[in-house]
Structure 1
Amino acid sequence: MAVVFVLIALLVLAVLVTGNWYVWRRLFRDTTRGPGAVRRAGAAAIVGGWALTIGALVAERAGAPFWLQQTLAWPGFLWLALSLYLLLGVLAGELVRPVLRGVLERRARRRAAATAPAPEPASIPAGTAPAPAGEPADSDTSAGPGDSTEEGTANSGGTPTDPTGPTDPAGPSRRLFVSRVVGGAAAAAAVATVGHGTYGVLRGPKVKRVTVPLAKLPRAAHGYRIAVVSDIHLGPVLGRGFAQKVVDTINATQPDLIAVVGDLVDGSVKDLGPAAAPLAQLRARHGAFFVTGNHEYFSGAEQWVEEVRRLGLRPLENARTELPHFDLAGVNDVAGEDEGQGPDFARALGDRDPERACVLLAHQPVQIHEAVDHGVDLQLSGHTHGGQLWPGNLVASTANPTLAGLERYGDTQLYVTRGAGAWGPPTRVGAPSDITVVELASRQA
């Protein structure tokens, strides 16, 4: 097992080194005339960026002083996102590079053809009458070895314009010009993408509304609204101000019930207790409920369960409560199995009345299969972030039965929210954050 781990680690390291060398080559080596300060600065920026990223990850997992985590997190995690889109940008540039070079070469050939001197007419020796029309000229009138012909002029009158050479002897070559244009465009696109995606996260999640019909839901519960929020990820980057935005957005929807379905925090109660304090302001007719996510088990799950209880949320640790018109149940995240606190569906659902509708809170979508086996009507989950950074959605979709949105599994429906915050880079691309208001609909209405 150890050998396999080492081999995988070496493979990952090789991919990272190769990818970063390729980015350095396209952005710095190919855009400069020779070794110099620009190439050295580019290498230092790439190495320094990854040093900050590794430092941020190690500091967070090792429980370093919180001020140090905050200092490293912003530049380190943003570099992680920027390096991804720099790589994608230069890869996309490989498609543009030959097209741009071909356009420039064709334009250079047209310019060379337009400026080439016209061939001089052959001179006729004195005393020689021009040949009659229709007859060939006398062989003596052909050009001699010392006379100028079109070919001779082209070959002896200096170096002709080379269509593959420099467009301007005083400026960069065509290859250098193409590299600068493509590299600059790739860098600009990467910075703009990360900037826009970061702004989208810091601005706060938007409200998404989904109607879910439940066969067993009574008419009296038609239109019941559950505000679902997941993956807030309070930590060194997203703090108290972000938590306040989330709380204000949820309260503005005036829900009947609030479901916080895991990954609330990335850090200890000691460091993040003040950041989570706004959760005490959550308001709903039937209260706010909480289940653990995998990140709670990296951050001290037992302490956080007690903290959210103190803030007024009700943890559902493999437990169920009977609301007026349906059952609400919650199970722990599968990451709790390592601590003997994993999900227990039998405990949460085993003795319930199967004639009543049941809504289950479970952080990870993969828990849907056990939910189906226990006759759950609707499971509410998060965890996936919708992929967070495109093309991460392609990877996340292979690991989860549903990446985002509503899908049906037999008689059970699964809704997966993309989450309110972000893990690692405070950036989302192609997967906007959301708080979802799930409106239950009775088929008897």
Structure 2
Amino acid sequence: MSSALFVALVLPVLAGAHFYVWWRMVRATTSPRSWWRRAGTVLIVLLALLLVAAPPAERALPAPLATAVGWPGFTWMAGILYLTLALLAGEAVRPVLMRVRRRHFAGDTVSGDGGERLYGTGSVPGPDSPAPASADGLPASRRMFVSRVVAVAAGTAAGAAVGYGAYTALGPPRVRRLVVPLTRLGPEAHGFRIALISDIHLNVLVGRSRTRQLVDLLNGTEPDLVALVGDLVEDADVAVQGRAAEPLANLRAPHGVYYVTGNHEFYSGAEQWVRFVRELGLRPLRNERIALPGFDLAGIEDASGVDHDDGPDYEAALGGRDRNRAVVLLAHQPAQVTEAARYGVDLQLSGHTHGGQLWPFTRLASLVEPHVAGLSRYRDTLLYVSRGTGFWGPPVRLDADPDITVVELVSPRA
């Protein structure tokens, strides 16, 4: 996203969300000129600044400083989302709580001696009289009580969502198993297992230990072939994140380990990462195809490569092949299936979407991307989209568990 577009579209939304959270969590729950109000205001402003600073800091600052800024900044991206949603939900509850408190307040204003009211008679309040009522009939102290109840509930809900989401994102991915029959698959490839991994997103928050964990999981599935379908890294040079990727050299599969670029490789400099993974023993497939027993395996560049004069070339990867053989295509973005179907691809394996990564985007993503996660069909082409193993931005996944998928190919002729 360009800087101008970020300032024009994203910053106003972020500013509005932070002001709303401050209004409901700080101003409405604290007394004027209190220490709590000053501290809460400073905290909200600091978190807002860290959120905006975290993405550029990832590239501009030395690793220790980038990590120090990144953890609170990126985590707060999820925090402000869920706190805003929880407070908005609280707006529906607030009038109910107000009515309940108003009933209690009305009962409290009647004395036990003949039912004479203590206020509202036009007399001057004495030292023991209730606090002045606001326009809605509740004293300020009781309005503050309701605001505090809503704020505590919203904070608890948001904290639980972020905490569980971080536990999910940073924990080991789930290993899924999928059986896919392909009509043209040769009998010699019956039972062929492809371990699919995508969107590792090595960054200032996760590194070498995460890669080792993923390699152990992949090797543990005992695949015939490993396919890494893009976004190995999140906007970083090999000099910065190369060491974190080195454990990929330990991947083992009888028919090899293959790699195609994702959009974030092009944001980082795709050529350097292609050279690096090749040195690690991975085989990049850059608009090309190879023959394996019983089927062809093809790989194309990510669609974002067009902006770098290095985009997908479907004719080079899929043209002129034997149409009696099945072909499995590795392509980072699910949307590339539209061209893949024109070339008669049997199965496309993709990533990119993270399954939406964060609720409610996991439910809304299908409005703009029909293939968000799992197995689907586009015309005569099967498409499987992995939710990936990493995260973009906040180290949080909610309603979109990370996954590694073992795709087992089945031949009807076996």
User: Which of 351, 359, 364 is the equivalent residue of 1:390?
Assistant: 359
**Distance (whole Å) between structure 2 residues aligned to residue 336 and residue 175 of structure 1:** 56
1:165–1:173 Cα contact (<8 Å) kept: no
* Structure 2 letter corresponding to 1:38: W
Alignment partner of 1:228 is 2:226: no
Q: Does residue 406 of structure 1 match 2:403?
A: no
Matched letter for residue 290 of structure 1: Y
For each residue in 1:342-379, what CA deviation from the matched residue of structure 2 results, as whole angstroms up to 9, or x when unmatched? 00000001011111011000000110100000100000
- Give the counterpart letter for 1:236 in structure 2: V
Describe the superposition over 1:166-219 as per-residue Cα deviations: whole angstroms up to 9, x where unpaired: 9xxxx9732111100110111121122111111112112111112212111133
Instruction: Give the Cα separation in 1 of the matches to 2:366 and 2:155.
Output: 28
Q: Which residue of 1 aligns with 2:82?
A: 85
Go from structure 1 to structure 2 and tell me whether the alpha carbon gap of 1:385 and 1:31 turns closer, same or farther (over 3 Å shift): same
Match of 1:201 among 157, 169, 174: 169
Aligned residue for 1:129? none
2:282 is matched with which residue?
Answer: 313
State the shift of 1:220 in Å. 3.2
Give the Å deviation of 1:327: 0.5
- Equivalent residue, structure 1, for 2:252: 283
Residues 266-275 or 347-356, more deviating: 266-275
Aligned length: 406
CA distance in 1 between counterparts of 2:55 and 2:72 reads 12
Structure-1 residue corresponding to 2:243: 274
Question: What's the offset of the Cα at 1:118?
Answer: 6.0
| Equivalent in the alignment of 2:20 | 22
1:364 aligned residue: 333
Match of residue 135 from structure 1: none
Q: Does 1:214 align with 2:182?
A: yes
Look up the match of 1:33. Answer: 31
Cα distance, 1:156 vs structure 2: 11
Q: Which has the larger radius of gyration?
A: 1
Which one of 168, 181, 194 corresponds to residue 149 of structure 2? 181
AA in 1 matched with 2:141: S
Contact 1:53 1:77 in 2 (8 A): yes
Which structure 2 residues correspond to residues 127-138 of structure 1 after superposition, within 5 A?
Answer: none
In structure 2, which of residues 45, 49, 52 is the aligned counterpart of residue 51 of structure 1?
Answer: 49
| 2:334 is the alignment partner of 1:337 | no
Is 2:367 the partner of 1:436? no
Secondary structure of the structure 2 residue equivalent to 1:321: strand
Could you tell which deviates more after superposition, 52-61 or 189-198? 52-61
2:196 equivalent to 1:252: no
Distance of aligned partners of 1:324 and 1:236 in 2 relative to their CA distance in 1, 3 Å threshold: same
Overall identity of the aligned pairs, in % = 53
Q: Structure 1 pair 350/41, CA: closer, same or farther in 2 (3 Å)?
A: same
Q: Of 233, 237, 256, which aligns to 1:265?
A: 233
- The one-letter amino acid of 1:218's match is G
Match of 1:73 in 2: 70
Give the Cα–Cα distance (whole angstroms) in 2 for the partners of residues 117 and 218 of structure 1.
95
State the 1:401 CA deviation.
2.9
8 Å Cα contact 2:18/2:48 also seen in 1: no
- Counterpart code for 2:169: V
Separation in 1, partners of 2:314, 2:208? 34
CA distance in 1, matches of 2:331, 2:199: 12
Comparing 70-79 with 406-415, which one deviates more in the overlay? 70-79
Secondary structure of 1:173 counterpart: helix
> Equivalences for 1:317-328 in 2 at 5 Å?
317-328=286-297
Query: Are the equivalent residues in 2 in contact too, given 1:330–1:362 (CA < 8 A)?
Result: yes
Report the CA distance between 1:165 and its aligned residue: 5.8
| 1:157–1:71 distance in 2 versus 1, CA, 3 Å | closer
Equivalent position amino acid for 1:174 in 2:
R
**CA distance 1:92–1:251, shift in 2 (3 Å):** same
Deviations 1:56-93 (A, max 9, x none): 2112344x433332222112111111111111111111
CA distance change for structure 1 residues 369 and 157 in 2, over 3 Å: closer, same or farther? closer
Q: Gapped runs of 5+ residues in structure 1? A: 120-149
**Residue 348 of structure 1: which of 294, 301, 317 is its match?**
317
**Distance of 2:290 and 2:398 partners within structure 1:** 37
Instruction: Please tell me the residue identity of whatever aligns with 2:328.
Output: V
- Quickly say closer, same or farther: Cα 1:212–1:345, change in 2 above 3 A: same
Match of 2:92? 95
